[in-house]
Structure 1
Amino acid sequence: MNEMVQNPPSALGTRATRQRAARDAAATPGADRVRVNDPDRTMANILQVATAEFADKGLAGARIDEIAALTSTSKRMIYYYFGSKEGLYVAVLEDAYRRIRRIESELHLEDLAPEQALRTLVGFTVDYQLANPDFIRLVMNENMHRGEFISRSTTIQELNIPVIHAVRDVYQRGVAAGVFRPDVDPVDLHMSISALCFFNVANRHTFGAIFKRSLDTPAATAQRRESIIEMIVRFLRP
């Protein structure tokens, strides 16, 4: 996590940069053979490109034709794998949540003292969302749909159960140790962590423009990261 702070990624990047990267990934020798013989790799490539497209343009603006062109595949193949444009969109949402939850599970919070576990979880959330602005865009787009498509996915709901269990375990251990106050709902705590980390990326450009602050420098990133961690920790102290 320290390395992330010292060398913060560009918060948003450009659509053209992501598309060039997707083209380079797709334009490999034997791509046609891979498409036929390696469906997992094909689907992963489609999801990677579709993530950038849906993040940039939303569900309504993204085009299957464009995704097919960027992955050197066909609309027919995309529909074969995902059923429809909406099916691909839901698969992108599921993949986005699966990635963050998988990495969270590797933090081994249960091996850390409660306050250190909380600091680790909050710091990870700051770092991950800063490094993955497309995740923020996808969530923002889905909120514009009032959670319609997330609500259709039992996978996403199941993926988010472990993180609540992890937050609850850290919090309850802290209460038992006397380092956290005993009147906080773990889901509310998770919401507060998410809110601070989300705003840090989603509103960085408008906030920076209004208050004439550069929020992308290593120093600003590190300072904001520490502030978010301290706010959450102090909120829980007795």
Structure 2
Amino acid sequence: MLNKIKLENILFLDIETVPEVATFDELSEQKKELFAKKTEYQRKEEISAKDFYERAGIWAEFGKIICISVGYFVNTTENRSFRITSFAGDEKQLLIDFKQLLDKHFNKENHLLCGHNGKEFDFPYIARRMIINSISLPSKLNLFGKKPWEVAHLDTLELWKFGDYKHYTSLNLLTNILGIPSPKQDIDGSQVAKVFYEDNDLERIVKYCERDTLAVAQLILRFNNLELLSDNEIIVV
């Protein structure tokens, strides 16, 4: 079934998120209480909500998106290329720009969004942050009333599970076992908040996000037993 999907119809993506503010102390008292309540089952008894706040970026209610990187194939038969671009910085603006991309270029029935653990994390996170920022949902993220087979989402983690819902494989592990260059060449997800708030190095995060997006595309190629992208086929715009 997967090999019947045209690569040109897939928009590959990855997002990077951080806590909505740099420190727990910057939250309102009400938000502190809500965060403590939200995380009480994840935290061990000896870990305070304040100490746990460094992980706040994984929840759309307490985090924000600082980068969305997307990639798409061009001319998959001859002179194949893969173009990558990123929306980064101010969250509301990057969400508006991403929505415009979907509405103008990836709004047809045969268009798909693809991420690693995208169905569980990236896609719902983007949708929630759009609602929080008063941005109307593009059709590819508006799942209200849709049946499962009508949802135009691909997930490389789900594809690798082969129906085993207990199984989780990280993008880093999956690229390693399939002979794909690791996207974790510089930083990993646990370091993004520090690089953003302490180092003020958004460009470093963008490059990391773009490597993850490329890795997802390479996974789809491997799942289809196709040749991986070479460096001269990858164009960052």
TM-score (norm 1): 0.29
TM-score (norm 2): 0.29
Q: Name the structure with the higher helix share.
A: 1
Q: Name which one, 1 or 2, has greater alpha-carbon Rg.
A: 1
